[in-house]
Amino acid sequence: MTLLYQRYQKIRSEAAKVIVGQEEVIEQVFIAFFSGGHVLLEGVPGTAKTLLAKTLARLIEADFNRVQFTPDLMPSDIVGTNVFDMKSGHFHLKKGPIFTNILLGDEINRAPAKTQAALLEAMEEKQVTIDGVRFGLNDPFMVLATQNPVEYEGTYPLPEAQLDRFMFKILVDYPPHEVEREVLLRYHRGFDARALDISGIQSVISPAELPAIRDEIRSVTVEDGVLDYIIKIAAASRRSRDLLLGGSPRASITLLLTAKTHAALQGRDFVTPDDVKIVALPTYRHRIILRPEAEIEGMTPDDAVRRILAGVEAPR
């Protein structure tokens, strides 16, 4: 039984103290976190995306910052800037909110391109550049960005290059009847999402344990047949008649890394084809582009990925 498996079982029970349902979303967020990636959360307001980010930070003893993206947000508002001190006669660095462990970027598609580019460097390089000087970011560092799927006025659609930097795109849907009923009952009994200190939630993982967990994930075995399966999925996406753009090599790398993490979360030291299938949707849905005729027929990116998976034979 792996250290990650033991810790994740505890994570699930602690997260359930404040988040009702959303088990699949929580699992996908933690797969991305332990794989060292970033997440784009897409869902309408009020579906616990901010609460999820705060809960993640508390469970792993991490610092947390939140940025509300707006059309007038400048790169310096995120990364920081040098400020002149009249007393000393010198400039000193005033760090921005990006110097944290978990950064929640609310409505990221409202930020202009220049601000998105600054965030892109931080996500990819784990560093920022301020007045020509590079500053490393904290470890761990994860961006949880949100976007509203139904609001387009005043937004700047994320370019494909930045979408590709997100390890997962996770869809956060409305809760089913029983789950929403439990949410209402909790609030009726006094639960307050803004007061996690009194929720009883306990941290499960300390930063000191992360190197050992990463070593466990790296040591997960991947047979040649599973590697070929990942490659065939990418090749099928590039040949698909439904798509203008298929999966890149980065998509295949993501599929490999996250499948290993999913296997470790289940307490296994080897990857199965089912691990690959489980992480395929959040890996691919934001990296592919549908053909116009497929969109007219009502096809979604998830439909296209499922069709691809159905057409590629899994190894035994």
CATH number where 43 lies: 3.40.50.300
pLDDT digits (tens, 9 = 90+) for 262-289: 999 999 999 999 999 999 999 999 999 9
Burial category of 184 from C-beta neighbours within 10 Å (exposed 0-12, middle 13-18, buried 19 and up): exposed
pTM of the model: 0.91
Structural domain harbouring 110: 3-207
Please check whether residues 187 and 230 belong to one and the same domain: no
Q: How confident is the model at residue 89 (pLDDT cuts 50, 70, 90)?
A: confident
User: What's the CA gap between 50 and 53, in Å, rounded?
Assistant: 5
Write down which residue in 207, 241, 263 finishes a domain: 207
pLDDT score recorded for residue 216: 94
For residue 143, what are the contacts with CB-CB under 8 A and spacing of at least 6? Answer: 38, 39, 103, 105, 119, 122, 123, 166
- Which comes out higher in pLDDT, residue 44 or 229? 229
Please check whether residues 293 and 251 belong to one and the same domain: yes
Write down which residue in 169, 184, 207 finishes a domain: 207
Region 128-145 average pLDDT:
88
pLDDT score recorded for residue 155: 63
pLDDT at 315 > cutoff 80: yes
Beta bridge mates, 34: none
pLDDT score recorded for residue 162: 78
Please check whether residues 193 and 248 belong to one and the same domain: no
Write down which residue in 162, 185, 207 finishes a domain: 207
Region 72-97 average pLDDT:
84
What is the number of structural domains in the chain? 2
pLDDT digits (tens, 9 = 90+) for 147-199: 877 655 556 677 777 788 899 999 998 989 999 999 999 889 888 877 777 77
Q: Which residue has the tokens 């998830």?
A: 302
